[in-house]
Amino acid sequence: MRDQERRPAHLIEAVLLVSARPIGSSDLRSATGLSDQELESALAGLRERYAPESSGIVLREVAGGHLLSTNPACSAAVERFRREARPAPLSGAAHEVLACALYLGPLTRGAVSRVRGVNSDAVIRSLIERNLLVEVGADHDAPGSPALLGVTDEFLAATGASSRKDFPPLDSLVTQEELDRVRERLASSGTAAGSEPS
Amino acid sequence: MTFEPLGRSLSDFTVELDVYSGPYEWLLALILKDELEIFEVPLRELVESYLLVRRPGAANGLERDTDFAGSAAALILLKSRTLSPAIDADSEGIEDEPLSPEVLAERLTEYLKIRRAAEHLKDRFVLNAGHYTSAHTIAPRQGSLSINLDRVSLAARQAFSRLIEPPVRHLGPITVTLQQLAGIIRTAIAGGPVSYESLTSDMDRMNRAVAFAAALSLAQEGSLTLTQAEPLGPLTLEPSR
């Protein structure tokens, strides 16, 4: 491959290397001065070069941009070098709060607690500290204009999603049989609770 | 929430959890210092860990069991309080009204979906763990300025509209000082104990408030004693002996 042909890939590679956040195509174009065609062609080559099976660095398409990161297969060495443990996994409660923000958001803390049926303030605080949740506005129709919460680009990157559209629709996650079973149980418990003792 | 100080009987008990690995006593300290969220600590696993290393035949076995049961009970209480809906939840939060079966079914359905979505997210987090990005930090740069005409219009309307004066009719000129009321109180109690209600019966709201502050001040300097037999009961001012 001649230098001239390799140059676009070099430019993109260099820009991606110094960014800890995903870079969108338009930002890459403006930084490198490449045309759409050159950019796409170079990115295709980089995807191949930085595929998980051929490199310790992988090119990911997450949070609406392109991001160079280490290959998870090498994570133990990276963690040893950085002398830090992998962040503690999220709790079930934290996953539920994130699911609320992802599928029902932006929504208020109160709305999250209402969906889950328990106070979620502590979980939300922890997720904000971990940059997975963020206040994206305020609900001006509600008393006190409570903050509205949404998921962050860090959340999309951590879940390997390019955008919110990468997640399956909420309705597809539960089958009709499961829903029917819930209604049946509810109906039977309501009948039992309402029945007179014989 | 407070823990009874543990004896040293559990000093050698260490736990291995996803969120924490180390001495049990330190785990309690981290929770109390809010450096570890209680909701992240799986109490069932904690109990199971203890049962694995429990030594009923040891000399201090009973003491260890007691210490652990006491602290574990406190953790359960703390966790349940953290997760329970706030008592003063407003209308925007969690309501105490009983739900109709239809609404309950709808909510359970919604929660079931969120639960499944949470499980799906967990899998995605696990699948994508171990990616580390560049450690190079970029200096912050100026953001691009965008002007939203609607917001500019709203701000202009608010800036140029006449402010609504807050109601101030209840606020009158200050006609009394703490020293004056202290003098009145001293004179009143010279003849013996007097109730706060009778002392302030002919005073307006402002004077009553200042009289109360003056009474507190006099009590603090030891000139009088305030007694109240029961909470919110009559308050009696009497000269100090």
Q: Could you report the per-residue pLDDT of A76-135, keeping only the tens digit for each?
A: 898 888 877 777 788 888 999 999 999 998 999 999 988 888 888 888 988 999 999 999
Q: How confident is the model at residue B172 (pLDDT cuts 50, 70, 90)?
A: low
In the three-class reduction of DSSP (H, G, I as helix; E, B as strand; rest coil), residue B20 is classed as coil
**For residue A190, pLDDT beyond 90:** no
Is the Cβ–Cβ distance between B9 and B64 less than 8 Å? yes
Write out residues 63-92 of B within 8 Å (CB-CB) of A.
Answer: 82-86, 89-92
Lowest mean pLDDT among B34-43, B113-122, B136-145: B136-145
Residues A149, A103 share a domain? yes
**B105-130: pLDDT as tens digits:** 788 888 889 999 999 999 999 999 88
**Which residue, among A50, A57, A62, A96, would best test binding to B if mutated, counting the most B CBs under 10 Å from its CB?**
A96
pLDDT at A177: 86
Same domain, A157 and A118: yes
A117 conformational bin, left if phi > 0, alpha if psi -120 to 50, beta if neither? left
Q: Which of A25, A54, A81 is a domain's end point? A: A81
B131 vs A108: CB contact, 8 Å cut-off?
no
Answer yes or no: do A73 and A98 share one domain.
no
For residue A106, cis peptide bond before it (omega within 30 degrees of 0):
yes
Q: Is A34 left (phi over 0), alpha (psi -120 to 50) or beta?
A: beta
Q: Where residue A54 sits, what CATH number does that domain have?
A: 1.10.10.10
Same-domain pairing of A75 and A101:
no
Q: Which two tokens stand for residue A70?
A: 């280490």
Please check whether residues A56 and A135 belong to one and the same domain.
no
The reply to whether A197 falls in a domain is no
Q: Give a yes or no: residue A163 inside a domain.
A: yes
List Cα–Cα distances, A118 to B1, B55, B118, in angstroms: 19, 37, 16
Q: Please indicate, yes or no, whether residues A47 and A116 belong to a single structural domain of this protein.
A: no
- CA-to-CA distance for B33 and B43, rounded, in angstroms? 18
Residue B64 phi/psi, 5-degree rounding, is -60, -50
Does the residue A175 lie in any domain? yes
Q: Which two structure tokens, joined as six digits, stand for B118?
A: 């949470």
Task: Return the pLDDT at A3.
Answer: 44
Q: Which domain holds residue A36?
A: 3-81
Q: CA–CA separation, A150 vs B120, rounded Å?
A: 18
Distance of residue A7 Cα from the nearest chain B Cα, in angstroms: 22
User: Which domain-ending residue is among A81, A113, A136?
Assistant: A81
Instruction: Find the closest chain A residue to B40 by CA distance.
Output: A91
Say whether both A59 and A114 belong to one domain. no
The residue-averaged pLDDT of B137-145 equals 68
Q: How far is B66 from chain A (nearest CA, A)?
A: 29
| Chain mean pLDDT for chain B | 80
Residue A150 falls inside a structural domain: yes
Interface test with B, best of A23, A159, A191 (most B CBs within 10 A): A159
Q: Which of A81, A112, A144 is the last residue of a domain?
A: A81
Tokens 């309080």 belong to residue: B81
* Residue A87 located in a structural domain: no
pLDDT digits (tens, 9 = 90+) for A118-173: 888 888 988 999 999 999 998 888 888 899 999 999 999 999 999 999 999 998 98
Position B89 pLDDT exceeds 70: no
Q: How confident is the model at residue A61 (pLDDT cuts 50, 70, 90)?
A: very high
Q: What angle do CA B95, B97, A110 make, to 5 degrees?
A: 15
pLDDT at A196: 40
Residue A193: pLDDT above 70?
no
Residue B88: closest CA among chain A residues belongs to which residue? Answer: A119
Alpha-carbon span A37 to A41, nearest angstrom:
6
Residues A52 and A109 in one domain: no
Which positions in chain B touch A82 (Cβ < 8 Å)?
A: 132
Query: Predicted ipTM?
Result: 0.85
State whether A7 and A74 are in the same domain: yes
**pLDDT for the residue A184:** 79
In a domain, A195, yes or no: no
Task: Please tell me the predicted confidence (pLDDT) of residue B28.
Answer: 85
Per-residue confidence at B241, pLDDT binned at 50, 70, 90?
confident
**Is the preceding peptide bond at A143 cis, omega within 30 degrees of 0?**
no
Asked whether residue A86 is domain-assigned, the answer is no
Into how many domains does chain A fold? 2
Indicate whether A75 and A96 sit together in one domain: no
Q: Do A77 and A133 fall into the same domain?
A: no
Q: Among B85, B112, B127, whose Cβ lies nearest the Cβ of A119?
A: B85
Same domain, residue pair A122 and A56 = no
State pTM to two decimals: 0.60
Mutate to test the interface with B, among A113, A184, A189 (most CBs of B within 10 A): A113
Nearest residue of chain A to residue B42 (CA atoms): A91
Distance of CA A48 to the CA centre of its chain: 24
**Chain B residue closest to A132 (CA)?**
B125
Length of chain A in residues, anyone?
Answer: 198
